Structure 1
Amino acid sequence: MKKALLPLAIAAVLPMSAFADVTVYGKANVSLQSTDEGGDRITELVSNASRIGFKGKEDLGNGLKAIYKFEYETQIDDGDKSGQTFTQRNIYVGLEGGFGQVIAGKFDTPLKKAQKKVDLFNDLEGDIKSIITKSDNRTSNTVQYTTPKSWGPIQAKVAYVASEDDDVDNGVSSSVAYNDKDAGVYLAVAYDQDVEKEGADVVRAVGQFKLSSLQLGVLWEDQDAGTSSLRDGDGWVVSAKLKASKTVALKAQYGQSDIVKEDGKTWSLGMDYKLSKKTKLYGFYTHEEADNLTEDNDYAGIGIEMKF
């Protein structure tokens, strides 16, 4: 039996009472798209980070809780990703209380989480990791501390990433964010040291603003390669989402970066049509170009996303 199938096998044999404090959640996201890369055009069905997860907590008394999450990606299109049916995403166990939260496992770094929802094409071809950044990481062997909710709109995170190699420096990822939901203002700054590669430093600044039915976002990032094999460079992206009606949202995004590819540029347009609170249809078009691409890349697709 593949190790990734163990969560479902365990769920099948344990009594329902064992899951009294467990929340099962996930997202099914699949698109039919035309992909034009390097002059070669194909039509394909793509699973866009579809996932299933289990999370829960146990009240330990005196305001202290034990918490956990086990989340796996699955491929809706063909059921296979590098020979596996399920691949690990965010998985951790930890404690939460008046002191804040401490978790240990494999999960998104504070720098990655600091982007909030500026990336309107996350998990699709227009995702910022395609052209803008190499530091949207999910790191293993990580211990993270998050400040308590009593800090109000201010939240700080610091994660220690163990290399488990005497010849490789351990990594540190940290962030500080200000999130005023009533005012519709989100601001964050984040810093990675020796996370993507040993010797590399990354700084990220993020702003997101809600003005009635309009959401605006901006993200800037600078990468200092140091002694690593990465390239020095910076990148930025701006995005806008307009809620045109109760069911329709229009999206646009543009960015430039030298971090992933020399003189990389990308822009995307999209529309979401909400069928319910948890299900939507969507369409998108993404264009990418860079100095070392023989031809520009273009992607156009329609899809459905259902959260549960």
Structure 2
Amino acid sequence: MIIGGFAAQAQAQSNVTIYGIADAGIVAERGGAAGNVTKVTSGVGSASRLGFKGVEDLGNGLSALFTIESGVKIDTGDQDTAGVFAQRQAFVGLKSKEAGQITLGRQYTMLYNALSQVADPFGAGYAGSAKNLFPTGGVNTRLSNAIVYNSPVFEGFSVDALYGMGEQAGDTTAGRQFGLGVNYSNGPLNVRLVHNNKNNDVAAVGVTPAVRKDLAKNTLLAANYDFGVAKAYFGYERDKGAGSAPLPVANAFGYAVAPKSSADSDEWLLGVGVPMGGGTLVASFIKKNDKQNDQDANQYAIGYLYALSKRTTLYTAIAKIKNKNGAGYTVGNNTEPGSGDKAFDLGIRHAF
């Protein structure tokens, strides 16, 4: 829904759009320490949300913009994060046709955007989500106190840059984060190369000394190509440093020795999307290579998305993870990390 208005003094046209996603499905999880789990849950394919965004034309190719977006749980009606209204996105900025766009606030990282928008045929959702093995937790997905720049597109190329303030008193580097992305899009080909760098230091507080830690560095190459009869997907990510690959679930399988997060790992993804029967068949294979602990894992996934309209989609997906040497990765979906090594989804997604 669009609410339009005209500001006579500024001679500027502005509008506000109310938008959102309502997504709920039946999820069956198997293989975890807690046993079989079957539930109705929210945000299987895409996190359910309610958002407000606006643009004001300031003239001469310049516009002001904002987004405020809150997550909701369709199965219960609760907020995604209790007591926090706009935990998904909250930013304001300026956009110039010639100079690009700059925004300030809580925003997605280009690492997550490249994985979900380019590399993963499941779009980081459903049982086949690449988030099950690619590290996207916490600040690898969204970052508060961030400044983001998006350049104009020139001959198919564009650049994105992110800088996140650590905002720890007495230390200008502790907790800060930066990202850089180079993008190319031309016809059927889309490619993104992105780097994310997180400072894990903790500033001194009173008599408690500062804690110095390794940098967490993630570099991702994402690509897809549309052949018409099928769309091919590829992703490769390199993770280095403490905190570069946090585990989605601490010890989902109840091992006597809990799995360890790796400070040296990489992931490969090969995927495909095939138009079929009025919908799209999607499938992917992901390999996790833990170079530090040798706790590797493979994921196999297949799903079918059937569009009833431009806004409403029925979906089903199934995925299996094979953990090795005490690894503890789980099959989740867009909003939940999952409880076991197998999962099946059946649901509906409506965008408005």
For this structure pair, what is the TM-score category when the shorter chain's length is used for normalisation?
Answer: 0.7 to 0.9
3-state DSSP of counterpart to 2:111: helix
Letter in 2 for 1:21: N
| Alignment match, 1:28 | 22
Shift, 1:125, TM fit: 3.2
Matches of 2:285 and 2:131, distance apart in 1: 13
Residue matched to 1:168: 174
What whole-Å deviation, never above 9, does each CA across 1:262-294 have from its counterpart, x for those lacking one? 202212110111111111111110112323357
Does 2:70 correspond to 1:72? yes
Match of 1:11 in 2: none
Deviation per residue, 1:194-233 (Å, 9 max, x gap): 1688611111101100001311100000011169785211
Which residue matches 2:229? 213
How far off is 1:83 after superposition? 3.3
Of the three residues 60, 65, 68, the one matched with 1:62 is: 60
The reply to whether residue 281 of structure 1 matches residue 275 of structure 2 is no
Q: Tell me if the contact between 1:79 and 1:85 (Cα under 8 Å) persists in the aligned partners.
A: no
Alpha-carbon distance in 2 for matches of 1:87, 1:266: 33
Q: Structure 1: which 5+ runs fail to align?
A: 1-14
Structure 2: runs of 5+ lacking an equivalent: 7-12, 202-213, 245-260, 331-339
Residue 270 (structure 1) aligns with: 303
Where 1:268 maps in the other structure, the secondary structure is strand
Q: Could you tell which deviates more after superposition, 247-256 or 127-136?
A: 127-136
1:80-106 deviation digits (Å, cap 9, x = unpaired):
335358552122100000210000111
Alignment map for 1:67-146 (pairs within 5 Å)? 67-80=65-78, 81-84=80-83, 86=85, 88-97=87-96, 98-115=98-115, 116-121=117-122, 122-134=124-136, 136-146=140-150
Q: CA deviation at 1:301?
A: 1.7
Q: Distance in 1 between matches of 2:81 and 2:163?
A: 28
When structure 1 is superposed on structure 2, of 57-66 and 86-95 the one drifting more is 86-95
Q: TM-score, normalised by structure 1?
A: 0.86
Looking at structure 1, the residues matched to 50 and 280 of structure 2 have their Cα atoms a distance apart, in angstroms, of 26
Q: Cα RMSD (Å) of the superposition?
A: 2.7
Structure-1 separation of matches of 2:266 and 2:66: 36
Given that 1:99 and 1:147 are in contact with CA atoms closer than 8 Å, whether structure 2 keeps it comes out as yes
Is the contact made by 2:296 and 2:327 (CA closer than 8 Å) also made in structure 1? no
Q: Distance in 1 between matches of 2:74 and 2:350?
A: 12
Equivalent pairs: percent with the same residue?
26
Whether the 8 Å CA contact 2:16–2:55 is kept in 1: the answer is yes
Provide closer, same or farther for how the CA distance between residues 194 and 293 of structure 1 changes in structure 2, counting only shifts above 3 A: closer
Inter-partner Cα distance in structure 2 for 1:87 and 1:78: 18
Matched, 1:244 2:243: no
Native 8 Å contact 2:285 2:300 kept in 1:
yes
> In structure 2, which of residues 267, 281, 284 is the aligned counterpart of residue 253 of structure 1?
284
How many Å separate the matches in 2 of 1:50 and 1:60?
Answer: 32
Task: State the one-letter code of the partner of 1:161.
Answer: G
Verify the 8 A CA contact 1:38 1:293 in the aligned structure 2.
no
Cα offsets for 1:246-269 (capped at 9, x unmatched): x22111011011469920221211
What amino acid does structure 1 have at the position aligned with 2:181? S
In structure 1, C-alpha distance between the alignment counterparts of 2:226 and 2:31, rounded to whole Å: 35
SS in 2 for 1:88: coil
Q: Deviations over 1:67-92 (max 9, x none)?
A: 11111111001123353585521221
The range that moved more, 165-174 or 54-63, is 165-174
Q: AA paired with 2:102?
A: V
What code does the residue aligned with 1:120 have? P
Partner of 2:42: 47
TM-score after normalising by structure 2: 0.75
1:128 Cα shift?
A: 1.6
**1:10 alignment counterpart:** none
Structure 1 range deviating more: 293-302 or 155-164: 293-302
Q: Which amino acid aligns with 1:138?
A: R
Query: Conserved in 2, the CA contact under 8 Å of 1:75 and 1:85?
Result: no
